[in-house]
Chains A and B, each alone.
Chain A
Amino acid sequence: MTSRREVLRGAGGMITLVLANTACTFDKAESEEINAAAFSDHQLLTLTQILQHILPHAALDSAVYADAVAAIARQSINSGNKHKLLVEGVAALDASTIWLDAGASAQVAALKAAEKTPFFLSLQQVAIEQVYRDDRTWQLVGYEGEAIKFGGYLNRGFNDIDWLPSAPGQSESVE
């Protein structure tokens, strides 16, 4: 497991957390805020890994998950309840063995067992909120985001569907 000191040794203002299958980046301001909310690196890494299990997009940059956790941690700063829920949720997962050290299938099994807990349910909602508001995810799934920058779809495929059957007795599409 990565210790805080190693984490802080990252280059420039960037702080890099390295994990077997996760390389995530928190910028300095972010990490200061998050530290203020008193999350340990272990907790942040655990949350990041949980998010990857909840919404596993193989082709998605893992920074998306780390950024999502940073945002979630930040949101919990002023809410003792949210913070407590996250910290206690991680602690519960770690109760017998350190969850993060387990293999992927054991991790998933542990999450399955916890999926009805307030911790998991609330994390699931904020995970969706964060991951699916990220334009890197939008790009992956085919949502094109802001349209004003290219002037809308009027000349950009709003009516380019080409696989519909032509209706009986109908030679062209509707007006």
Chain B
Amino acid sequence: MTKSFDLTDGSVVVVIGSGAGGGTLSNELAQNGIDVVCLEAGPRLAVGDFRNDEAYMFKKFTWLDPREGSGDLSKKFPAFLCKTVGGTTTHWTALSLRMREHEMRARSTYGEIEGAALTDWPLGYEELSHYYAMAEDKMGVAGTHDMPRLPANNHFMLMNAGAMQLGYPNAPTANLAINSISRDGRAPCQQLGFCKSGCLMQAKWSTLYTEIPKAESTGHFELRPESMVVNIEQGADGRVTSVIYEDSNGDLVRQKARAVAIAGNAIETARLMLNSKTKQCPDGLGNQNGLVGRYYMRHVFGRIAALMPGKVNMHRGIIQAGSLEHEAHHDPKRGFASGYHIEVAAMTPETLARNLLAHEGWGSRLTDVIEQYAYFAGAIICGEDLPRSSNRVTLHTDRKDRYGQPIAHVHYEYDDNGNAMHEHAMRTTENIYQALDAKKTYRFPASSATHNLGTARMALQEADGVCDPHGQVFGVPNLYVSDGSVFPTAMTANPTLTIVALAMRQAVHLKQQMSGRVL
């Protein structure tokens, strides 16, 4: 029942990107009988194309077109996201946590912090909770609804045991969008440990094999892979009229649209808005106040590996099986606002070796340690970072990508709050492993961002943000943003559950607007 729409059909909603935000929005609209064309820059892989091989799948999935980083970011590879149908949900590790109520009121809770553009979210917690429940149900989040928790693997049992030695309470396995039982036509997790390589069991939620085929089965949806949107056009009345994309043949094509929703993952979303310069918006769509691209957030992030006295075999089973929430609360006595969580994060020998180079150098010191791979544990810390106007995505002044578009420049610097939190989190994680007599712990060099947020923040008023509380771009009545770009603050949780919840909420809003003929 896959449908195809005419390029001149101006009744379709064009969704840009097929990941967490775009895939979800597309399906929610199509289920309601709204015609959608989804333009996705990457190719469409089948589950049969997946391999249990991290390096191989990295090359298949990853967005490798150039970007540039500065500040505390890698210059060449500031952020890590995917360019494939399903977006980064093909690769993500499925931790699905809700924002906490106090985090939604960040400005009220944390108070004034110098340099931070803190604000409260422009919607209520109760309303968001309603959509969280729907998103968890859609994604099959273990530990919610009818989905039992997943069993703990060695790697998480170890972390939890270490934390308990320190006096923290027993913790369950994480809320993961991974089937513990057969559900939604997908198999339960078999603990392969290749969640980042496209889950061969399809136990892990990815829009590639959930939202996209479901949308196709409605007869109201067309996916166009290998279609890179380079420009969004605006009419004299301020409404967007069409998008221009480069198709798989390298031809530039114009698709007319009734409304456009951008879900390219915050950096790409901001880049596309900035690159879409029109008569009414000469500095880019929605950028009349110069806010597009600002307040970029990526979470306070760090990685640690620990050499343990007994075997762990961290590669066995779910990569991110558990997350400790013991330090996720807001307690300014620790010397910083907001909190963080500590997640287990298994890694391959290659990743371990790369990151230990800085500690052990090359030669037998390094190889002696790598030969104890089975005794290693790995963790990630992830905490709330604060929005800063100077952390931002801009267009590169002279470098262009292969589509002829200026590439994104991403500037990000940690602030005092972030540095204090980072240190606290790294020390706590080290203590957890040391409580179990770790022989050595290693802090890894900074890594590329996996969470990208805030570049088109929502606000109640145009002066304070790029989008209204439904993700509609101020000043452009039929242009929407449907990904983590709209987050006004970062919260401690990993972003995807919130992106999906907001996309579901946006779909309800769009439907109302369309039936009320506002759109």
Contacts and interface: CB of A to CB of B under 8 A. Distances in A.
Contact of B154 (A54, A138, A159): A159
B55 interface: yes
Chain A contact-residue range equals 35 or more
Interface stretch (B260-268, B306-314, B411-419): B306-314
Contact of A175 (B151, B194, B317): B151
Contact of A167 (B165, B348, B363): B165
Given A152-B190, A167-B164, A175 B313 contact: no
Nearest to B310: A163
A156 B170 CA distance: 25
Interface in A129-175: 129, 132-133, 137-138, 140-149, 151-154, 156-165, 167-168, 170, 173-175
Chain B contact-residue range equals 35 or more
A128 interface: yes
B435 to A, nearest CB: 9
B373 interface: yes
Contact of B52 (A147, A158, A159): A147
Interface string B36-73: 00000000000000011101000000000000000000
Contact of A157 (B158, B309, B316, B366): B316
Contacts of B171: 174
B270 to A, nearest CB: 31
Contacts of B192: 147-148, 152-153
A171 to B, nearest CB: 11
A165 B353 CA distance: 29
Contacts of B152: 159, 173-175
Contacts of A143: 315, 348-349, 373-374
B403 interface: no
Summarize B's interface: helix, strand, loop or mixed: loop
B338 interface: no
B371 A140 contact: yes
B55 A133 contact: yes
Contact of B363 (A53, A158, A170): A53
A159 B157 contact: yes
A56 interface: yes
A175 B149 contact: yes
A124 interface: yes
Nearest to A143: B349
A161 B200 contact: no
B367 interface: yes
B238 interface: no
Contacts of A56: 363-364, 367
B203 to A, nearest CB: 10
B54 to A, nearest CB: 9
Contacts of A28: none
A37 B353 CA distance: 29
Nearest to A163: B310
Nearest to A128: B353
A108 to B, nearest CB: 7
B164 A161 contact: no
Nearest to A167: B164
Contacts of B151: 158-159, 175
Given A132-B349, A133-B55, A143-B315, A173 B157 contact: yes
A55 interface: yes
Nearest to B170: A174
Contacts of A148: 52, 192, 194, 200
Contact of A141 (B52, B363, B373): B373
Nearest to B309: A163
B55, B156, B349 pick with most chain A CB within 10 angstroms:
B349
Nearest to A146: B52
Contacts of B154: 157-161
B431 to A, nearest CB: 15
Given A129-B350, A164-B436, A165-B436, 8 more contacts: A147-B192, A148-B192, A159-B157, A170-B164, A173-B152, A174-B152, A175-B149, A175-B172
15 contacts: A53-B362, A56-B364, A57-B367, A57-B370, A132-B370, A142-B371, A147-B191, A152-B189, A157-B316, A159-B317, A161-B310, A163-B309, A164-B158, A165-B161, A175-B149
Leading 6 A-B pairs by shortest Cβ distance: A152-B190, A142-B374, A158-B317, A163-B310, A132-B350, A146-B52
Interface of B: 51-53, 55, 149, 151-154, 156-158, 160-161, 164-165, 170-173, 189-194, 200-201, 309-313, 315-317, 348-350, 353-354, 357, 362-364, 366-367, 370-374, 436
Interface of A: 53-57, 108, 115, 124-125, 128-129, 132-133, 137-138, 140-149, 151-154, 156-165, 167-168, 170, 173-175
